[in-house]
Amino acid sequence: MTVRDIPNLITAARILLTIPLAWSLVQGRYGLALMLFFVSGVSDGLDGFLAKHFGWQSRLGSLLDPAADKLMLITAYVALGWKGLLPVWLVCAVILRDVVIVAGATAYHFLVAPLEGEPTLISKLNTLAQILLVLAVVVDQALVRVWPWLLSGMIWAVLATTLASGLDYVWTWTRRARKAGI
């Protein structure tokens, strides 16, 4: 291990945070869950800062960082769906989008060409919407009531950006594969 590994170690710790996050959400310990989200967000910013500022970027880090983010979000969506705080159909849509993207990326990588992660604008918007919805639901349970109409609007916004992002990835990478002769 070297100092260059610090960002990856922080990311690995963030991945391990999903276990207490899942437990805290399922147990209804929403204050703890909020704190874990905060720690996760700070560590995400810190590992990114260290990697970029000191030139400690790595191939492993470029794969682990988005995987840690996705794992945290999927964990939160499943737990909140399990508790009945998010609709099951939304949880299924979020998971299905990620499964389609991972399956498509894997197929592209092995059948067409090595794939470099390129999040699109709609994908970034989707991730932001997903994070904000989780935070709103947890805040609603832990601290203060969030207006039901706001939560409902956020649910529909997550569904819309999830579908748009998933379709955008399928469309974009299908076109690229066809251009490559597949």
In tens, the pLDDT along 53-81 reads: 999 988 888 888 888 999 999 999 999 99
Q: Are 68 and 60 in contact (CB under 8 A)?
A: no
> What are the chain's domains?
3-179 (1.20.120.1760)
d(CA 27, CA 33): 10
CB atoms under 10 Å from CB of 52, counted, come to: 11
On whether the CB atoms of residues 182 and 109 are closer than 8 A, the answer is no
pTM metric for this prediction = 0.91
The predicted model gives 126-140 an average pLDDT of 96
Helix (H) or strand (E) holding 6: helix 6-16
Distance (Å, rounded) from C-alpha 129 to C-alpha 39? 19
Q: Which of 91, 75, 80 is nearest to 19 (CA)?
A: 75
Q: What is the pLDDT at residue 117?
A: 67
Specify whether the CB–CB gap between 71 and 19 falls below 8 A. Answer: no
- Averaged pLDDT, 36-40: 94
